[in-house]
Amino acid sequence: MTEPLHVPVMLQRCLDLLAPALAEPGAIVVDTTLGLGGHSEALLSTFPAARLIALDRDPAALRLAGERLAPFGERATLVHAVYDELPDVLDRLGVPRVQGVLFDLGVSSMQLDQADRGFAYAQDAPLDMRMDQNTGISAAEVLNTYPPGELVRVLRAYGEEKFARKIVEAIVREREKEPFTNSARLVELIRDALPQAAKRTGGNPAKRTFQALRIEVNGELAVLERAIPAAVSALAVGGRIAVLSYHSLEDRLVKQVLTAGAGHTAPPGLPIVPERYQPRLKLLTRGAELPTEEEIAANRRAAPARLRGAERVREDVADDGGRR
C-alpha cells in the first residue's frame, strides 16, 4: 500500500496527555476517530503494554488503517461504529473501563483528499459528504429537499454563516431549475450570493456552508453531545481523555462537559461538600491548547485545532451510597 501523506494533529501533546494512564500493562486506550490510523499507530508504538480499541464509521478508513496497524496484531481491535456507540462497543467486547480515550473530531484527511467524497470545496465532486456512504442522506439531498427555513437554520447553527438567508434564497432559486449534484455549482452560487466585502476575508467563502452541510449530514454535534459524556463514564479512575476539535461549536460542547465534570455538584450553602458531589474530573489543559506555529507550518490542517484534556479522579457515587 502506498501510504497517503498523513500527519496526525498535535500528536506529541496528545501522547503526553494520555501517557500517565497508559504505562501499566493491560491498559486499554480507545481511539474513537481512527481515520488513517496515525494517532492509533503512535499510541501502540509509544505504549507497548497497552491495547487499542479503535472506532470509525467509514469502512474505507477501517480498511486502510487496518493495513497500517496489522503489525500490532491482536493489540489492535478495529470496530465499525460511530463514536457515540462507545458504550455498546465496550459492552460487546467485555471491557468495563478504559484507561484512555482520544477524539480527533471533524473530517479526516482521507475524506478531504478523496475528491469523490464531496467534502472539499476546492475541487468539483458529487455532493455526498457522508462519512459512512452506506447510510444516511447526502449533502445533495439536504440541499434539494430541505425547506428554506430549515436550510437557513443549518447554515446559521452549524456554519455560523451570517449570510445564510441570502445563500439559501439563491439555492432555492437554482434547485427549482435543476437539482444540485456537484460541489462546483454550489461554490459558484455562494460566491455570487455574498457581498463583495464578505468575499475579501476569511478564506474560501464556501467554507462555512460546506462545514454546516457536513455536520448536518453526519449528525456530528448530536453524536458528540452523547459521545463525550459516554467516554468520561467509560474511564477508570486515573484514566484520561484528550479531545481535538476544529471549530467553535465542537470545542464549546467539549468544554461544557469537561468543565461540568471538574466542578462539584453540591447544592449551594453546604459547609462541607459530601463525596457524592465532589468533582469526578480534573482538567489537564488550561482552556484549549493550540498547535504551535511550527506544527501549523508543517501541517496546515492543524491550524484550527483546539485540544482539551481531563483525568477521571473519582467514581460516580449513586444517591443510595453505592458506586457506579
Strand 306-312 to 281-283 pairing: antiparallel
319 is in an annotated binding site: no
List the grid coordinates of 187.
Answer: 461554490
Q: How would DSSP label each residue in 96-114?
A: --EEEEEEE-S--HHHHH-
CA–chain centroid gap for 118, Å, is 18
38 is in an annotated binding site: yes
Closest CA to 223 of 31, 57, 84, 86: 84
DSSP state, residue 323: B
Cβ atoms within 10 Å of 119's Cβ, excluding its own: 28
Closest CA to 175 of 195, 220, 145, 202: 145
39 is in an annotated binding site: yes
Query: Look-up: residue for cell 442522506?
Result: 137
Q: How would DSSP label each residue in 8-44?
A: -TTHHHHHHHHHHHH-STT-EEEES--TTSHHHHHHH
146 is in an annotated binding site: no
284 three-class SS: coil
Closest CA to 187 of 167, 158, 173: 167
203 is in an annotated binding site: no
**Binding site members:** 37-39, 56, 83, 104, 111
**Binding site members for S-adenosyl-L-methionine:** 37-39, 56, 83, 104, 111
